Each structure stands twice: as C-alpha cells, then as structure tokens.
Structure 1
C-alpha cells in the first residue's frame, strides 16, 4: 500500500495467523492505516506441526520499525484458553478491541478415501474452531460493552475460500471447514448486530504457503514493475475497510478478493464485480464495495433471526 488515509486510526485489531502470508499482509496494512495490532501466530509448519515465536515477532518488529504499534501473541486460538488470552492481550495492552480478523489455518490435503480422521480433525480444528473461539470471546466482550452502554463499532472479518464456496478436489476437510465458516459468519452477523458487531467473510485468492504448491508457476511473482496479481497485499485493502468504522451497515456478507478484483457473492454465485487492474486503496475498495452492494440483490434472511 502506498497511499494511507488513517482509516483505522484509534482502533485496535487482532489478526490470527498473522506471521506469514495473508495474515501478515493484513496486520501490516491495518497498522499502516493507524490500528494498533495484536499479531497472533504459533509459528506452525504448513501442515500445522511445530511452533515458533519468530514469525509473529518479526511482523511486530516490522510494524514498530514503520512507526506503528503492535504486540505478539503466540497462543493456540483453537483452544478456549488461547482464544481468551488473545482477547485479553488486546484489552490489557491497549485497553480496547475493535476488529478481529480470523485468518489462521493450514492444510492436510488428501483425496477422501485417503483422508485420515486425524487430518480431518486437525484441519476442522484450526479453521472452524479457530474461528469460533476467538469470535466467541471477542463477542462476549462486545456484548458486555453494549450492555454497559458503550456500544462498540466492532468488526469481524472471517476467512473462507473458493474451496468453501465451490469445493475443491483433494481438499474435502478444508472445503468443509471453509464452508462452515460461511455459515458461522451468517449466524454471528444475525446474533451480534444488536451489540454493534458487524461480521463479514472474505474468500481470498493469493500466493501464500498454502497455495504455492497448488498453483506453482501460475502464481509466481512477475519480474520488474509489473502488477503482481497474486500478492497477498492485494486482498488486504478490503480487509482494512471491512475492519474499519467506514464499513458501517455492511454485515453478513461474503466477498471474493483477488488481484484488483472484488466480487460480492450472492448465494455462492458471483454477483456484481469490478476490476481496477491494479491494487486498491482501502478507500477505493470501500467505495467500490458499496457500489457493488447497491447493484446486488439482498441476501436471504437468516433462519431464526428477528
């Protein structure tokens, strides 16, 4: 991002899985727009094995070197204690929590007949449970704030995938988890709106550790000054806008984000789309998203919502 507007000035954001890839890009972009950031990452390998403090601490160092404020959190957010400590870190360090970006995840790809129960459980745990528990603890805090007369302008951005929208051969566990995140997003948006909480989801496409083996040469960074269509930083402006107060009124929605394109998903079918052909600024992404939403049909009501 070259142009910044301070769209997140005064806000405190938590990003899970922020040591590398999309999470790192989101954390840096939020900090560049004025947010204080809690950088969560356990430093696991691509398959979820092992831990290391280095990735989160390196991102924190990058933010601080750029003049921002950040703190590292190395807890396992797929446990209740880890998710609770994540929220507590934001509150204890900065006194508030405004934005939660759920991003952590890893892969254990297998064809269904070869997919072990352990691989199913591990992927469901990090993606689906790893979304639910931070959301649960953050939502409990925001509900308490609202009941105390301090209704927040809280934002949650969940991370699904094209695999969750359409399925992906060899990724039954991952596709199921990412589809589950979409359902969780709709329910959370319906339940938490009364407390000042907006919940949306993105289905990003970018070059990360999780995708480089799948797409290989097709996702390689271009040489020279050519637009790097698959850079994870291209997704972050929309995340920044959704995580800011500027996105007021947008909740329970799903966006695909790739390169210079943002698409509002309608019942998991592509709806209105706009392609700049280059990276968006957060303001441009927000203006475009609002125009696209104005052109799209309203989503179906969530069963049981009042």
Structure 2
C-alpha cells in the first residue's frame, strides 16, 4: 500500500470532489483517480460511490477513513523525527589568507584541514592581514594565514614559514656581481619599501630591522606592487629588499634588475596561522580547528617553510 494512495484517498474523502482534492494535492485529476482505483483494487472493494457530479464514501470507505488519517499522522511524525535525531551538519571551516603570503603556505593549511576533515569544503576569505586579524578577533573567521606578529592579545598564532631576502638593484650595478650583500653595502642608497597599510605590524618590524642593520634612507611607496618596484629599481640607483621567493625571482631577476641574496640573519618576516582561542579559556577538545593547529604546529610533522 503506497502512502501517496492513502493521502489521495483522505483528500477525496474530505473534499468529496476529485477536482478540489487534486488541487489540494497539487496534482491533476487523472493520477488522483488512478491512485484511488489502485487502492480499491488492492483492498478488494470500493471506497467511493461515484455519481454524476457527486462523490460519496461507501460504508467501507467511512470505516477506512479514520485509520487512514491516523496512518498519515504517524507517517508525518516519522518524517519530522528524522531531522530531530540526525546529527547537525558541521559548519564549514572559515579560513582567511592574505594574498601577499606565498601560496604554498595557504596550500599547507588547506591540505591539513582536508586531512582532519575531508567531509566539508572550507570557505576561503582573501584580505590583507590587518583585515583578517579584525575578522578573527570578531570570530568571523576560524583560522587565517597572516604575516606575524599579531599585536592582538586576544589572538594566538604559530609560525609556518619565514622569508629569505635579497636586494634588488640594477643589473649593471657594481654590487650586482657580489654573491651576497649586507644592508651596510647599500646604506647610502635609497631603499624602497612597500606600503605598510596592508600589514602594519609586520612592516613596522621589517623597517625596524632595516634601520638597525644600517639603512638610513627608506622611502615607503603607496602600494606593494612588486612589478612597479622592479620598474623603479630598473630605472634608478634605488634598491629594494624583497623575498627570494620564486615569484620575486621571476619579476626581479630580469635583464635590467638583479636579485642578490641578503646576508642579514636578524632581518626576518614570518608567516603563520592565527586563530582566536575559546572565550572561556577552555580547550575545544576534538574540534577541527584545534586539530589543524596541533598538526601545523608539530615540529616533527611540519617544519617551518623557508620562503
């Protein structure tokens, strides 16, 4: 016995009209009539007396109506019971990343997220570090790949990678032939640095290291466009300090611009993953976020990348 057949019977029995019952069930009269015929065939007796423009329940139909209603009520109760007992679907992990961070760092975080939770696809937000830190503090993100330090006591972080730096200068510059350079070698030159707006704390730390290493003429640009930086260096005696990433090498190591490794161990810029610990200080045991942070922070499993 099909539940739809029972539902069709109750509708016709209550409306005593096939057309109105069909509208109530949002079907056409033809399949409705077929449902009733199939049910009557299965029961071996008529449920309705059909006359011209008139439908009445048979004696058996009247006896069958109340059990049919009870069956539908129990069926609907079972349908409602399913969502109530089913475990709630986990919310997708909200991961932020600064576009200025090397892509392999975000890849590492996403790879680890998939290892600990392969069922859900994370939501990715790409914004500057300063924006991501505010979103973390407001708990609108779960994790974020940002430049360190954080400068916010409400947040925690672990280091994932650190940059290796080089000095970009004109290819025909006498210093371009050296195997390495120090800041003191270009102390009298103007050193171009990118805008500090997108990651103010990290850039403030970066400039402090430059000054301590001997830089005296820093010029902050209104942008952080490495292509424009390369163009400015290629047309002047200005230099800039950039990471030795593959992207930087492709942009700066051209026919007009050379990229020489920088020998300044104290000059560091780090990338890490940040998160907001639980507000009550308790550990969120078994949470995906905690497992990702634990896996990323394990030195034997995830040594920091050199960028």
TM-score normalised over the length of structure 1: 0.23
Q: Who wins on radius of gyration, i.e. which is larger?
A: 2
Larger relative contact order, structure 1 or 2 (CA cutoff 8 Å, min sep 6): 2
TM-score normalised over the length of structure 2: 0.23
